[in-house]
Amino acid sequence: MGRVLADLTGDADAFAEALAERTARVFRPAGWPAGWPAGLPRAAELEAVLNGGLLRVPYVEMVQDGAVLAPERFCTVRTVAGRPEAGWADPGRIAALLAEGVTLLLPQLDQWYAPVRALAADLALGLGRRTEAFCFATAAGGRGLKVHRDDADVLVVQLAGEKEWTVHRPPADGHWQPGLVPAPGPVALHTVLAPGQALYVPRGAPHAATGRQGLSVHLSFTVREPGTGRLHAALGEHLAAAPLGTGLPERPLAEDELLAAAAEVLRRGRERLAALTPQDLLRLARGPLPDPDAPLPPRRSGD
């Protein structure tokens, strides 16, 4: 399944089993922190990014009680090339809000932080599903989100501090919505993650996390799975990928010509659909996946 999943969990087969059974599970890889996986950022590296001056909305957010704060609360305005530009992360304001229990969120690290992009790509290729990365930082006692469901399977990797997690049982069928869950039901797992430990949260399972000791920093790899709407969209994309009217008159004039063209387009469409299996459609809906030839960061034994 790829060496990244083995590095992060210590047992890729056990993770695959938990994923298939949709069962929350904690993983404690041997050798941490000395064997820190290549590409996985340390808290100090993320702090350097935050202080580097280039981080701005929407790649930085702050969340309190499930609500995203207005950027003016944690960002500043700069003059760039003579123009005022808003939304630049202000490390001082962010530190003050963290101390008040507000959670710092760095969305989509896979889009702008190359080492994490490589990790997410390897996970996506190994699992056959789109994978994204989000980073959360929370002071002790802080909780950015109340009990909620995510429309993705989540692999949490604790980077610094400790975080207390409560995961409830996932939904029994497909009739559910992501978002806040006022009545989450029975608890499936309760744990405290320390640096180097990982947690699998099944798609749709209500969960919440609270900072436990020091500044808690964790990375969440969200593993996306299509819903019925995405399957429908993928079917349309498949039909649109190659024109069904190739070789037909572009602008038929008479109604009988229009009906003949319509009949031929339908015939070709049915033919193309007949060759498409449910497995093919699911694969199309799960993609597109990253380039399998993109290089991964080299392994390192420690710093």
Spell out, as residue ranges, where the chain has pLDDT lower than 50: 300-303
Q: Summarize pLDDT for 235-255 with one digit per residue, the tens.
A: 999 999 889 999 999 999 999
The reply to whether the predicted model has a pTM over 0.85 is yes
Give pLDDT, residue 102.
94
Give pLDDT, residue 30.
83
Tokens, residue 164: 């207390």
